Chain A
Amino acid sequence: MDLEFTPGERAFRDEARAWLTEHLVGEFAEHRGIGGPASDEGWEIRLRWDKELSAGQWLGLTWPRELGGRGLTPKEEAIFTIEHSRACAPYIATEQGLTLLGPMVLAFGTEEQKKRFIPPILAVDELWGQGFSEPGAGSDLASVSTRAEREDGDGRNGRWVINGQKIWTSMGDRAQWLYVLCRTAADPALRHRGLTMFIVDARQPGVEVRPITNMSGRGEFSEVFFTDARTSDDLMLGELNGGWRVAMAGLSFERGLTLLSHQISYEREIRSAIELARERGRAGDPVIRQRLVQAWAAVEVMRYMNLRSLTSLFRSAETGSITSVTKLFASRHHQRLAELRAELMGPWLEVVGEDYELQPAQSALLGSRAETIYGGTAEIQHNIIAERVLGLPR
C-alpha cells in the first residue's frame, strides 16, 4: 500500500497545476466554482472556460490522439480532475459530450461517427443532450416507448422517423445534438431487447425542447417532444436493437471521476459550514460540533473510498462495486451536510435574491435532493448492490 505519487505522476500534477494557475484568471477566477452538475448557472462563462481547457488540450485526456485527445491514462485523467477541482475552476459545460456521449461513441461508434462527433466535442463547438428517461419511463428505463420507425418500409433510403417524448434532458435547450434511446422493435414486451440508440439533430422542426424549472428555480433540464423528427442509419449508435447495451455502458463510464470532483467540492462545503458555525456562535454547542464532525468525517471517508475506487480503476480499468457504494454514501451524506449548513444559517436561510437568486448554502440544500434521484435512484442503487454485488435473489 503506497499513497505517494511517483515522480512521473508528480510531474504531470505539477504541469496541470502550472497551467491552471496561469489560466484560471480574470473572469474565470472571479467566478470560481460557478455552476454544478445540474445547473445552468454561469453558462456562458463556463463555455468559455471549456474553450480555454480545449485550447490547452485538457479535454478528452484519455481519448485517442488521432481524434484530438491526448491518449493518456486514467491515472493522469484522475490527477487532472483533482487539480481542476482543487483550483475551484468553473464547472464544465460540456459534461454530456465529454463524460457520456463521447465515451459511448468511442466504444460503439463507427469510424465515421468518431471522426464526425469527437473533434467538435473537444473543440467545444457542439453540445449534447440526453434522451433517455420519459414521463412514463424513469427507473424503468427499459419500458421507453419513444418510437423510431423506418421512413420507408424496406429501409432503402436509410432514414428514420422518431415520435415520442423524453424528459430530464440536462441543458436540452442548449444542445445541438441529442442521443436518444428509441424503441425499434414492434413488440414492447421485448423491453430492453427492442431498443436502439440514435443520434438526432436537435435543431430540426420535429424536435421541440421545453425547459423545466427545478426546485431551485433554475432551468436545469427540459422535456423534448419528437414529432416526426428525422434521423438516419449512419446516425445509429451501435447495433439495431442493441441500444440498451450502449446506454448501460454510457451510464457506467468514468463515474469514478465525477465522484472525485464532487468530494473536493464537499470539502469546501464542510469548511464553509464550520466557518458559519463559528460566525453564528454555534461552534460551542456540543451537539452542533458533533454533527459538524460527523459531516466532516463523512467527507473524509468519501476521499478514502474514492482512492480505493481509483486504485481499482488503475489496476483493472474497472471501478468495481466500490463505486456504486460510494455514490450511495456520498449522496446521502452530502444531503446531511447540506441540511446542517442550511440550518446553521438560522432564519437568514429564508432570505433569497429578487429573482429567487440563491446563496451557495441554499443551492446545496435544494440541489442535493436530486442526488439520490438522478443517475439511478437510491432505491434502484440499493437493488443493484443487493442483487449484483451481494448476489441476493431477484
Chain B
Amino acid sequence: MDFAFSEEQELLRSTVRTFIDRNYPESKVRELMAGPAGNDPALWRQMADQLGLQGLAIPEQHGGSGFGFQELAIVEEELGRALVPSPFLASVVQAGSYLAHCGDEAAQKDYLPPIAAGTTIASLAIVESSGRWDLGDVGLTPHHASAEPRLSGTKLFVLDGGIADLILVAAREPEGGLSVYAVPSGAPGLRLEPLHTMDQTRKLAHARFDGTPARLVGQRGAAAAALQIALQVTAIALAMEAAGGAQRALEMAVEYAKIRHQFGRPIGSFQAIKHKCADMLVEVEAARSAAYYGVWCASEENEELPALASLAKSVCADAYFQVAGDNIQVHGGIGFTWEHPAHLYFKRAKSTQVLLGDSAYHRERLASLAGIAPPEPAG
C-alpha cells in the first residue's frame, strides 16, 4: 500500500513543471488569456513533440505512450498550478476518455492518433439550456431522414470550443438512448461562438448546429456508460487542476506574509494571518488528499469512481475557491488589482466551481451514492 506517486511519476512532474516555468510565466498566461484562442499552438505542439503529454494515456498502437490516468492527472495538477491556458482538459482528458471507452475501433483509429500528436483538438459537447452536466438533460436529437445523421440544436459551454477541430456531441436518439456524434469544426451548419469569459484563462464556446452532418462514434443509443466515465474522469482531472492552483495560491499568500511589513514587522508574524494561512494549508491538504484518492479510483476505474468524481470535484473546487479568496485577503489592497495574479486564481477557482456540475449538484449525487435517502415524494 503506497498512496503517493512513484519516483518516475515525480520525474514526469518535475519535467512538466520545468517546461511550464520556462514557457508559461505569468506574462505568457496574460498574453494568451487576452486573446480568443487561449492556447499557444507552437507550445501545444512542443508539449506533444518534446514531452509526449497529449499521448500519455493513449495506447501505443494509437500513437501514445500507453501510460494511464495517474500520469495525466499529474500534468493536470501542474497545468492548474500555473493557470496554463490550453485545451488539455478538453481534448486529452474529456474527449480522449470518451473515445477510449466508446468501443468504436474505427473512431479510435481515426481520432486518437491526432489527439495524441496534438494536431487535433477535440472537445465533448454536453450541456444544453439547463446549464447542467447531467446526461438526463441531453435532449438534442439527431435526424436520421437522410443518408448521414444530422444535428440541429445548441450546445453550451463547450470547453475550448472556439479552437476545437473536432466536436463530439452528446445526443439523445428518438428511441431514447444516448449517442455521441463527431462533427469537424468546419462542418456545414455549425457555428461556434467563443464566449468572453470571466475566467479568461479558460475559454468556452457555444455550438449551434443547423442540419449539420455528423458521424456516429460508438454504438447508437449506447453511449451513456462511456459518457458517464468520461465525465467522472474529467471531474477528477479538474479536481487535480484545482488542487494545483490552490497550492500555488497558498504559496503566494505565505510568500507575501513573510515579506510584507507593517507595524514594524512582517504581517506573517501576526496570529490572524498565521491562522488564516494554517487554515488554507488544511484546505489544500484535504483537497489534495481527495484529488489523489480520486486519481487512484479513476486509474483503476473501480466501483468508487462515481462517488469520488463528485466528492473530489466538489471538495477541491470549494477548497480552491476558499484559498484563492483568502489569498486576496492576505494581500490586502494589491490583491484586488488586475495587475496582481491573485484575481486570476480566484476567477479560475470560481469557474471550476460552476463547470462540470456545481458543488450542490455533486453533493446531491453523493447523497444517493452514500445511501442517504433520495428526496421523499411530495404530498
Do A1 and B290 form a contact, CB below 8 Å, given A390-B278, A392-B274? no
Interface SS majority for chain B: helix
Cα(A107)–Cα(B372), bound, Å: 47
Whether B275 sits at the interface, judged by CB under 8 Å, is: yes
Interface residues of A in 355-392 (CB under 8 A from B): 379, 381-383, 385-387, 389-392
Do A392 and B257 form a contact, CB below 8 Å, given A1-B9, A297-B311, A307-B293? yes
Max chain B Cβ within 10 angstroms of own Cβ: one of A9, A278, A307, A311: A307
Of B59-67, B177-185, B359-367, which stretch is located at the interface? B359-367
Do B367 and A9 have beta carbons less than 8 Å apart? Answer: no
Do B366 and A386 have beta carbons less than 8 Å apart? Answer: no
Contacts of A22 in B (CB 8 A): none
Do A301 and B290 form a contact, CB below 8 Å, given A274-B372, A289-B372? yes
Do A283 and B373 have beta carbons less than 8 Å apart? Answer: yes
Max chain B Cβ within 10 angstroms of own Cβ: one of A315, A328, A385, A387: A385
Whether B225 sits at the interface, judged by CB under 8 Å, is: no
Complex interface bits, B268-292 against A, C-beta within 8 A gives 1, otherwise 0 = 1101011101110110011001101
Whether A314 sits at the interface, judged by CB under 8 Å, is: yes
Contacts of A300 in B (CB 8 A): 290, 311
Complex interface bits, B98-137 against A, C-beta within 8 A gives 1, otherwise 0 = 0000000000000000000000000000000000000000
Complex interface bits, B138-150 against A, C-beta within 8 A gives 1, otherwise 0 = 0000000000000
Query: Contact partner of B315 among A297, A328, A393, CB < 8 A?
Result: A297
Contacts of A296 in B (CB 8 A): 366, 370, 372
Query: Contact partner of A390 among B269, B277, B286, B375, CB < 8 A?
Result: B277
Whether B3 sits at the interface, judged by CB under 8 Å, is: yes
Do A304 and B376 form a contact, CB below 8 Å, given A311-B3, A386-B275? no
Interface residues of A in 137-177 (CB under 8 A from B): none
Do A329 and B286 have beta carbons less than 8 Å apart? Answer: yes
Cα(A69)–Cα(B110), bound, Å: 62
Contacts of B363 in A (CB 8 A): 289-290, 293-294, 297
Closest to A328 in B: B282
A contact residues, range = 35 or more
Cα(A304)–Cα(B3), bound, Å: 9
Do B282 and A281 have beta carbons less than 8 Å apart? Answer: no
Do A1 and B296 form a contact, CB below 8 Å, given A292-B367, A310-B1, A392-B273? yes
Do A383 and B373 form a contact, CB below 8 Å, given A3-B1, A293-B366? no
Whether B258 sits at the interface, judged by CB under 8 Å, is: yes
Contacts of A383 in B (CB 8 A): 271, 274-275, 278
Tell me how many residue pairs across A and B have CB atoms closer than 8 Å: 152
Complex interface bits, B180-223 against A, C-beta within 8 A gives 1, otherwise 0 = 00000000000000000000000000000000000000000000
Whether A202 sits at the interface, judged by CB under 8 Å, is: no
Whether A27 sits at the interface, judged by CB under 8 Å, is: no
Cα(A346)–Cα(B233), bound, Å: 40
Whether B254 sits at the interface, judged by CB under 8 Å, is: yes
Closest to A75 in B: B1
Whether A20 sits at the interface, judged by CB under 8 Å, is: no
Whether A111 sits at the interface, judged by CB under 8 Å, is: no
Contacts of A281 in B (CB 8 A): 376
Cα(A386)–Cα(B258), bound, Å: 11
Do B285 and A305 have beta carbons less than 8 Å apart? Answer: yes
Query: Contact partner of B268 among A277, A292, A393, CB < 8 A?
Result: A393
Whether B336 sits at the interface, judged by CB under 8 Å, is: no
A residues contacting B by CB (< 8 A) are 1-6, 9, 75, 274, 277-278, 281, 283-284, 286, 289-290, 292-294, 296-297, 300-301, 303-305, 307-308, 310-312, 314-315, 322, 325-326, 328-329, 379, 381-383, 385-387, 389-394
- Given A390-B278, A393-B265, 11 more pairs with CB closer than 8 A: A1-B6, A278-B373, A289-B363, A290-B360, A293-B366, A294-B363, A296-B366, A301-B315, A315-B4, A386-B268, A389-B281
B residues contacting A by CB (< 8 A) are 1-6, 9, 70, 254, 257-258, 265-266, 268-269, 271, 273-275, 277-279, 281-282, 285-286, 289-290, 292-293, 295-296, 299, 311, 314-315, 360, 363-364, 366-367, 370-373, 375-376
Of all A-B residue pairs in the complex, the 7 with the closest CB atoms, nearest first, are A284-B376, A386-B274, A283-B373, A304-B289, A392-B268, A385-B278, A304-B293
